[in-house]
């Protein structure tokens, strides 16, 4: 892990869509065209600190319950998140889909284009990989160890480079019920 001080500033590119009622923890980065949407009548979305939300990611709460997402997660390009909760230090790879009423523990890794169906509970360190012909689900700490080793450097780089090349949105944590 990096010995640099924690990053507190939240970086949100101008062309992101963020609904009222979303709380975003310090240090989080939202790339261009990321969306965090609370559908009408749905509960809040609460994001922890130091999450990276890449381009075209959609985090959508359709449930009346709060959606709670922990800290130090990486949501890669084009993934769709509709789950109930996500713990800390997870990697959700490109174009994967996390369906409604899914609960994800800590240190999980969902491979690119995988679909986690509704009402699944993924315990800590679960790894899911899906191809056109197979679905693999196992437990390993290796993905979380790799993620931990590079996440803080990745955040630092994004905090330096994104404001140089994109317009930033001013953001204040406003919650509405």
First-last CA distance in the chain: 38
Q: Which string of b and e fits 151-176 if b means at least 16 CB within 10 Å?
A: bbeebeebeeebeeebeeeebeeeee
The tens digit of pLDDT for each residue in 25-44 reads: 999 999 999 999 999 999 99
In Å, how far from its chain's centre is CA 118? 18
The percent helix, strand, coil of the chain (3-state, each to 5) is 15, 30, 55
Under-70 pLDDT residues of the chain: 1-8, 131-136, 138-139, 168, 171-177
> What is d(CA 97, CA 81) in angstroms, rounded to the nearest whole number?
6
Q: Enumerate domains of the chain plus CATH numbers.
A: 11-165 (2.160.10.10)
Question: CB of 81 within 8 A of CB of 99?
Answer: no
62: left (phi over 0), alpha (psi -120 to 50) or beta: alpha
Tokens at 81, concatenated: 């998140």
> What is d(CA 36, CA 57) in angstroms, rounded to the nearest whole number?
8
Number of neighbours of residue 130 by Cβ within 10 angstroms: 17
Tokens at 82, concatenated: 């509709």
Q: What one-character DSSP code corresponds to residue 66?
A: P
């Amino acid at each position: 892990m990096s010995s640099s001080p924690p990053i507190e500033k939240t970086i949100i590119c101008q062309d992101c869509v963020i609904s009222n009622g979303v709380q975003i923890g310090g240090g989080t980065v939202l790339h261009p065209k990321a969306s965090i949407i609370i559908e009408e009548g749905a509960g809040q979305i609460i994001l922890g600190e130091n999450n990276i939300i890449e381009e075209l990611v959609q985090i959508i709460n359709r449930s009346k319950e709060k959606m709670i997402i922990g800290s130090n997660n990486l949501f890669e390009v084009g993934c769709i998140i509709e789950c109930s909760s996500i713990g800390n230090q997870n990697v959700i790879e490109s174009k994967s889909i996390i369906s409604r009423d899914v609960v994800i523990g800590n240190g999980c890794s969902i491979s690119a284009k995988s679909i986690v169906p509704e009402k699944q509970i993924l315990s800590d360190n679960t790894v899911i990989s899906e191809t056109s012909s197979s679905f693999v689900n196992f437990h390993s700490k290796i993905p979380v160890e790799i993620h931990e080793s590079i996440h803080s450097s990745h955040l630092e780089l994004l905090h330096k480079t994104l404001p140089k090349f994109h317009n930033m949105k001013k953001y204040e944590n406003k919650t509405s019920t």
